[in-house]
Amino acid sequence: MNSHLSKAGIYNDFSGLAELKAGARKQSPEARKEVARQFEAMFIQIMLKSMRDAGSVGEGGDSDEIRFYQQMFDQQIALDLANNKGMGLAKIFEQQLGAGPEEVATDGLSLLNRKPVSVQQAVIDGAERADAAERAAPQIKWSPESPEAFIQDLWPAAQKVADKLGITPEVLIAQAALETGWGKKMPDGSQGSSMNLFGIKADASWRGEKVSVQTLEYREHVAVREQASFRAYDSTENSMEDYVAFLKNNPRYETALKHVNDPQRFLRELQDAGYATDPHYAEKIQGIMSSDRFASVVSQLKAG
């Protein structure tokens, strides 16, 4: 193969271009490949020139000599880039050069018949696709219709997880009822409910999903609204499992875990360790557990 055809120095090597034209007329695969590469080099050079022109606006100190050498430098960079992987344009050019007249005509007509899309329409289309993708994503929904339904839904998982903590299922469910308003006030995110039953916040150690919402905190016995990030789960059982791990992995709750056989003492120690800022946290949970409504549903579930 001729040296001009295999590796031209820069695209304005005129003798090389002449041989490229001759080879292209013969439909030589090697020539098509080289012509495509040279076209990509020219395209890259035009891009470089546009970038230089944009960057030199308002600047002084340019001269014809400097611009001449910059142009030569850009030409060489363009060819070097095209000689390697380039921008992928060479392959497209090569395919077009190798296509028959009917294929080229068909492709050309399809491009001519394509309706132009405005920038505004492109933005709208992109937003609609994003909305559609979000709607297509599985939504996690769980909103018990009543306190009775809340207890019944959580009972199977609470029984299983409570054994790992050594506590009764009633304590877990009553605490979850207080934290979530019987399942009506769980933090929600774009994918639906966070399934966060125990109000566990997403600190720096958390690597899972999270949601950010307004929350009510008590500062010096005064209730204030704050923005906070909470952990998100794909099921209520996973939320309970994480609650157990959260208590066991935090030394501050060590004393509380020593009293799991005494629900009142456990809840009081949990509050004293700073689990919640509400000064009546333990008292409220005990109030739920001792209510006739709660006790009646639990009694029925235990009876099977």
Show which residues are catalytic. Answer: 217, 242
Q: Is the dihedral of CA 227, 232, 237, 238 positive or negative?
A: negative
Instruction: List the structure tokens of 23.
Output: 């080879």
- For 303, phi then psi, to 5°, come to -75, -15
Q: Which helix (H) or strand (E) holds 229?
A: strand 222-231
Question: What gap in Å lies between CA 160 and CA 55, rounded to an integer?
Answer: 67
Name the CA dihedral angle for 142, 143, 146, 149, rounded to a multiple of 10 degrees: 0
Q: Side chain identity at 119, as an amino acid letter?
A: V
- For 217, phi then psi, to 5°, come to -120, 155
CA distances from 166 to 100, 172, 248, 256, 261 (A): 78, 11, 12, 12, 7
Question: What gap in Å lies between CA 249 and CA 66, rounded to an integer?
Answer: 67
Question: What gap in Å lies between CA 178 and CA 171, rounded to an integer?
Answer: 11
Q: Residue 45 in 3-state DSSP? A: helix
User: Is residue 186 within 8 Å of residue 197, measured between CB atoms?
Assistant: yes
User: Is residue 9 within 8 Å of residue 79, measured between CB atoms?
Assistant: yes
